[in-house]
Structure 1
C-alpha cells in the first residue's frame, strides 16, 4: 500500500513537471508579474480604438477582435510586437512606448469586454469542424480543440488564446503566416508552425470559417 501511494505521488510530481515544461516551451506566458487593471486600461487605448474599437470588436475583417481575449495571451502578443519577436510593422508606432504595466492594463481591459460572435460558412463547416475537433490522423495533425477547447475559449492560465468568434480573414492569415514561418512567436515547441505546416489553403479557410462561428 505504501508503495502504491508512493507511485501516485511520483506520478503527480511528473505530471506537474510536465505541465511546467510544456508551458515554458510554448512561449505563451507573459513574463511580467504586473496585475492588469481594466479601468486603467480603458484610459490607455486611445491608440487602439481606430482599428480595434473601444469594445474590441474590429470592423475590418483583417484586424483581430480583442474583446474577451485571454489577457495573458494578449499581453504577450503586444510585448512580442514591441520587441520584434512578432513582426507587425504597422503596430510598432502604437506599442513602442508602452510600459509593461500599460500592456497588462490594456490586455485586462479588452479581456473584460464581451467577446465577438460570428457565423461559419456552411460550405466549409463540415471540414472545418472535423479538423478542429479531431485533427487529421493521416497527417499526424493534432486537434485544435486540444489546446483551444471545444468552444474555442482557450486556456487563460497557459496563455492559449480565445479564438471563438475571431475574424475568419485574420485567422486564415495567421495560420498561413505560421505555415510559412513568417510568424514564429509560438515558442520553442513550434506547435502552431507544426500544425499549420500540415494544412492546405482549403483546410486553413475551412478552419478559419469554423472558428469564426464558435462561441
Structure 2
C-alpha cells in the first residue's frame, strides 16, 4: 500500500507500508474478477519412481523350485546330478515330459502317450460299481474327483469294464492335482499319493529339500 504524506515543503512523499524484507514474488490477478490471487511457486523435481501410468504392482509368484522354468535341451549343462524334473499337466505323471540331470548334462524324455478321451463323459459322476462297456479309456473329471473307464483291475485286462474314481490326497497340505517333480514344496518329508494303477495315473511324491521328488509305484500286471 502506498501512503502519501505531505512534507514541510508541500510536496507529497512516499511512505513505507511496513512490509520490509519480504519478497512476495510475482503476483497474478485472476482475470475472472473474483479477487483470487495466485502466487508463483517453484516446484522441485518429484521422484515418482518408474511404476508406470497404470499403477501396476509386481507380485511375487512364490519360491521357485530347482528345475528350469521350461524343458531344458538334451545335453545342456546342469549342476544337480540326480535331479528329475517333469513338465506338463497330464494326470498321468509318466506321460509328462521328463528331464534328469546327470554328470554329462540333461537327458530328456518326451513320452508318446495317446491323449485321454474326455469326449464321452456322463453328465453326472458315475458310481464306483457302474459299468461302462464300450467306453474303455474314457477319462472324466468332476471337480477334484477323476473317473476312468477300465477293465484292468489287478491283473490281465479283460471282462466287464467299470468306472474307477479317485480323489486328491486327504492331507490338505498336498496339492489338489499331481505336482510336477522338481516343483517347490514347503512341508519337508510330506508324501502325497495320487491316482490309481488301473488308470495309469498312479504317482507318489515326497517333499525333499524343498522340491517334490517322485517315487515309482509298482503296479500289478
Fold match, TM over 0.5? no
Tell me which structure has the larger Cα radius of gyration: 2
TM-score by length of 1: 0.25
User: Which has the larger strand fraction?
Assistant: 2
TM-score by length of 2: 0.25
Q: Which has the higher contact order (CA 8 A, sep 6+)?
A: 1
